Amino acid sequence: MKKIKMENFTSKLPHHVLEIIVDCYLNLPDLYRFGLVCKPWKSICNPVQFYNHLPWLIVPNNNNNNVNPNSSMEKQKMVFEDIKDMGFFSLRDKKIYNAELPELLNRRICASLPGGWLMTVHENSEIQLFNPFSCTKQVILLPPLTEFPGVHSTEVKENNDLFYVCTRFGTDKLFCFPSKHVRDVFISKAAISSSKITRGTILMALQSMDDQLSYYRIGGDQNAWTPVFPDINRPHSLTDVTCYKGKFYGVDNNGYVVVVHGLEEEEEEKKEISVEKVINEPSGELSNNHYILESGGDLLVVVRFIKMDISPTAKGLHALYNSPHRTTGFRVLKLEFGTPNNRWVEVESLGNSSLFLGYNMSFSVSSTKSSGCKANCIYFTDDKPFFKNNIGGYDMGIFHLEDGSIEKFIYPSDRLIVPPPIWLAPNPS
């Protein structure tokens, strides 16, 4: 009997038949394996290009990576140090799949961006954009940490340990921080102007140590991050940033929203960069967890409520830094633009949409286009800063906006999970 080569058989399958198989019958882990068969299959089954599949969650590969709360901080890493520790969690079949992405080793994932792009930072100052599902596992080098506003120099001290000399919160006073600490906390959030990376694409980074927004235009002349706010006009405590209708918007922990003007022109020197407060009324809720994102053509602000389970015997800052926390609910508001003033509108239902919040650039998914996605829900991961204590990473779940219930997944306990799970964002639908 004549043998048929598998590659000849697969290459002759009609393209529309392959699309039907991929679109209707394969979940995300299947898509990944499907693309390994041959190049023609790989070209059509990039998991992040399909809108009808739930996003993946990048997690520690198994529960053995959970760190005991009593372990030393030296063992509590914000990075993957072994390729076997890295996994993708599928909400659809509740399984973790080995990722094996050496490009992410010893790099903190400081942001997950539309199109499957991951922004990573190394303690040696390197910053990269990496797409694990591009045909070539594409890596784009960005200006390093040392080219951010607020980073003045580096020093090598005893035991050849690297330190960064930085300012904090807009002051002129200099502080010296270990390189691992700067890697883990300097960039708290990031947003991108387009999921298609081309010349002129803008990355906006939120600096948690200096309350600053800084941007970098890919393909530009400046190999540095440019500050958005002048020192005399810097808002404090921004918690999230997004790109909405071509402009970058940020929200602070009081719910005030600002918009950045002037980045539409590729040559910034021809147009002044300015920041405007979009609404004069706060969201009405005081919280350190405000998110901002586009959903269904609207600009939404989401308030997250977190309860600290503080022991009656605990006192002071020790109680805040060493007490378990859990999300108790969310409030969703729409920013309604109008004349003469903009106003807040309470969102009682997301309809067929669901929101995905965490360290990622916040995004929305349509449940009608995403198989297995639960409508009118908020999928959330733990982005509470926990690097100064022994608690965090586990506060994840699905919040049902209709009745306020919370459904847990993966790690139901209060143990420290490091690195913290983060959503792999799909292409915008």
Per-residue pLDDT band at 78 (split at 50, 70, 90):
confident
Query: Does the pLDDT at position 71 exceed 60?
Result: no
Per-residue pLDDT band at 429 (split at 50, 70, 90):
low
Pick the range with the lowest mean pLDDT from 2-16, 23-37, 244-258: 2-16
Give the pLDDT score at 46: 54
Give the pLDDT score at 34: 67
Mean pLDDT along residues 192-207: 93
Query: Does the pLDDT at position 145 exceed 50?
Result: yes
- For the chain, the distance separating the N- and C-terminal CA atoms, rounded to the nearest angstrom, is 48
Q: What is the pTM of this model?
A: 0.86
* Cβ atoms of 273 and 228 closer than 8 Å: yes
Instruction: Determine the topology of domain 53-424 in CATH.
Output: Methylamine Dehydrogenase; Chain H (2.130.10)
Distance CA 363, CA 427 (A): 10
Per-residue pLDDT band at 371 (split at 50, 70, 90):
confident
Distance CA 381, CA 213 (A): 23
**Residue 152 region by backbone torsions, left for phi larger than 0, else alpha for psi between -120 and 50, else beta:** alpha
Give the 3-state secondary structure of residue 327: strand
Per-residue pLDDT band at 101 (split at 50, 70, 90):
confident
Mean pLDDT along residues 209-229: 88
* Cβ atoms of 325 and 384 closer than 8 Å: yes
Mean pLDDT along residues 399-416: 85
Residue 318 host element (H or E): helix 316-321
User: Cis link prior to 428 (omega < 30° from 0)?
Assistant: no
Query: Does the pLDDT at position 265 exceed 70?
Result: no
Query: Does the pLDDT at position 64 exceed 50?
Result: no
| Residue at 16: amino acid letter | H
Per-residue pLDDT band at 138 (split at 50, 70, 90):
confident
Query: To the nearest whole percent, how much of the chain has pLDDT over 70?
Result: 75
Q: Which residues does residue 57 pair with via DSSP β-bridges, in sequence order?
A: 89, 423
Distance CA 202, CA 247 (A): 10
* Cβ atoms of 357 and 378 closer than 8 Å: yes
Give the pLDDT score at 328: 93
Give the pLDDT score at 3: 44
Per-residue pLDDT band at 52 (split at 50, 70, 90):
low
Give the 3-state secondary structure of residue 231: helix
* Cβ atoms of 378 and 38 closer than 8 Å: no
Distance CA 275, CA 259 (A): 6
* Arithmetic mean of pLDDT over the chain: 82
Mean pLDDT along residues 306-335: 78
Query: Does the pLDDT at position 110 exceed 70?
Result: yes
Distance CA 424, CA 245 (A): 22
CB half-sphere exposure, 113, CA atoms < 13 A: 27
**Neighbour count for residue 111 (Cβ, 10 Å):** 27
Closest by CA position to 218, among listed 190, 204, 199? 199
* Cβ atoms of 147 and 225 closer than 8 Å: yes
* Cβ atoms of 273 and 222 closer than 8 Å: no
Q: List the chain domain ranges.
A: 1-45, 53-424
Distance CA 405, CA 402 (A): 8
Give the pLDDT score at 388: 52
Query: Does the pLDDT at position 215 exceed 70?
Result: yes
Q: Which residues does residue 366 pair with via DSSP β-bridges, in sequence order?
A: 353
Query: Does the pLDDT at position 170 exceed 80?
Result: no
Closest by CA position to 20, among listed 48, 52, 67? 52
Query: Does the pLDDT at position 44 exceed 90?
Result: no
pLDDT digits 0-9 by tens, 375-393: 999 999 998 765 455 677 8
371 DSSP 8-state letter: B
Give the pLDDT score at 167: 87
Give the pLDDT score at 315: 65
